[in-house]
Structure 1
Amino acid sequence: MTEEEVLAEFRASHALLEGHFLLSSGRHSAHYLQCARVLMNPERASRLAIGIAQKLPRDLRKEIQKVISPAMGGLIIGHEVGRALGVDAMFVERPTGTFELRRGFSIEPGDKVLMVEDVVTTGLSSREAIKAIEDAGGKVIAAAALIDRSAGKVDLGVPFYPLIALNFPTYAPEEVPAALAATPAVKPGSRAKP
């Protein structure tokens, strides 16, 4: 899929928002991608997942034994990428603040895993998920995401294959431009307080 095709999917589902947003990473942005909205349509989610799978080198696709995603954001896209690759898809979650496998999910020692996220900005959640997978015995051989918002700067410690990379600027709290700071920040993501 091209960048424009992916953005068309986001626009069609009203998932590309503009305003002043406080991201889960703590950074600020004038743009927000609401992946839950773009993934709520199963056909759209499937198309995007197939696009991610096709971004992976053919040799790598053959090695992947499991797909594991961090809950909540990576859950749907991880499941769909697992379907596209024909492997089981599981997720890690944070019941006590640290990612772990639960719900009867298990990894055989040395299982080759693709970690799949929805959006990567700083990579913190992705690195935490990778650590949890490795602590459980898996070998993360690559990571993938719908969107790389890091401007190509993220280092996950494994090869990283985003469907597209977007360079919407993000700002640390002390770097927010005056025009953006003039508008109250909204926390639109899953970690937002009601």
Structure 2
Amino acid sequence: MTENEVLGEFRAAGALLEGHFILSSGLHSPRYLQCARVLMDARRAERLATALAEKLGALRGQIDVVVSPAMGGVIIGHEMGRALGVPAMFVERPDGEFHLRRGFALQAGARVLMVEDVVTTGLSSKEAIKAIGAAGGVVVAAASLVDRSGGAVELGVPYVALVALDVPTFAADDLPPSLSALPAVKPGSRAA
């Protein structure tokens, strides 16, 4: 799937938004990809996950289980599990830190693909990778639908994204006038 085809899926779903958005990282941006909208169509989610699984190349054969962070990574994590033919589970933040819950458990040494919807700073990904390690898993790679980091994110494992989107981000105290003139919306799932 080409970058234009991937972005076409987002556009068709009304998931490529323009305005003033506060990202999970706390940074502000004039564009936002609402992955929940693009993933709400199961056939579209399957196409995107299949394309992302193909981009993993040789890493595909090294994965025993997929783990994703809740909330944003749950659907793409499930679809990646299906595309790879392995179980999928997710970590949650019941107390502010990611943990496996709901009876999920990793076998010691299980080789894990950590999957996110969007990576900007990598904070959620790093927290999820830490939780996976604490649960006995070994993260062999990370993947996301979208890399918004400008290629700057370093997760400590091989990282594959279906599409890289170079959208500027700004600190709250350094907004351009065009962005500060618009009301800010926080569409993500992280409360803090």
TM-score (norm 2): 0.98
Instruction: Name the counterpart of 1:39.
Output: 39
Counting matched residue pairs gives 192
Unpaired segments ≥5 residues, structure 2: none
Q: CA deviation at 1:173?
A: 1.3
Q: CA deviation at 1:184?
A: 1.6
Q: CA deviation at 1:191?
A: 3.8
Which aligned pairs between 1:126-145 and structure 2 lie closer than 5 A?
A: 126-145=125-144
Instruction: Name the counterpart of 2:14.
Output: 14
Quote the Cα distance in structure 2 between the aligned partners of 1:67 and 1:189.
22
Please tell me whether residue 171 in structure 1 is matched to residue 170 in structure 2.
yes
1:22 maps to a residue whose letter is I
Q: CA deviation at 1:32?
A: 0.6
Q: CA deviation at 1:139?
A: 0.3
1:156 maps to a residue whose letter is L
Q: Let me know the Cα RMSD of the aligned residues.
A: 1.1
Question: Aligned to 1:171, what secondary structure does the other structure show?
Answer: coil
Quote the Cα distance in structure 1 between the aligned partners of 2:174 and 2:98.
30
Quote the Cα distance in structure 1 between the aligned partners of 2:121 and 2:188.
15
Instruction: Name the counterpart of 1:123.
Output: 122
Quote the Cα distance in structure 1 between the aligned partners of 2:157 and 2:177.
37
Map Cα deviations across residues 91-138 of structure 1 (whole Å, 9 max, x no partner). 000011100001111111110000000000000000000000000000
Instruction: Name the counterpart of 2:48.
Output: 48
TM-score (norm 1): 0.97
Instruction: Name the counterpart of 1:79.
Output: 78
1:92 maps to a residue whose letter is V
2:133 maps to a residue whose letter is E
Q: CA deviation at 1:192?
A: 6.4
1:85 maps to a residue whose letter is L
Which aligned pairs between 1:153-172 and structure 2 lie closer than 5 A?
A: 153-172=152-171
1:24 maps to a residue whose letter is S
Unpaired segments ≥5 residues, structure 1: none
2:42 maps to a residue whose letter is P
Question: Aligned to 1:82, what secondary structure does the other structure show?
Answer: helix
2:34 maps to a residue whose letter is Q
Instruction: Name the counterpart of 2:103.
Output: 104
2:160 maps to a residue whose letter is Y
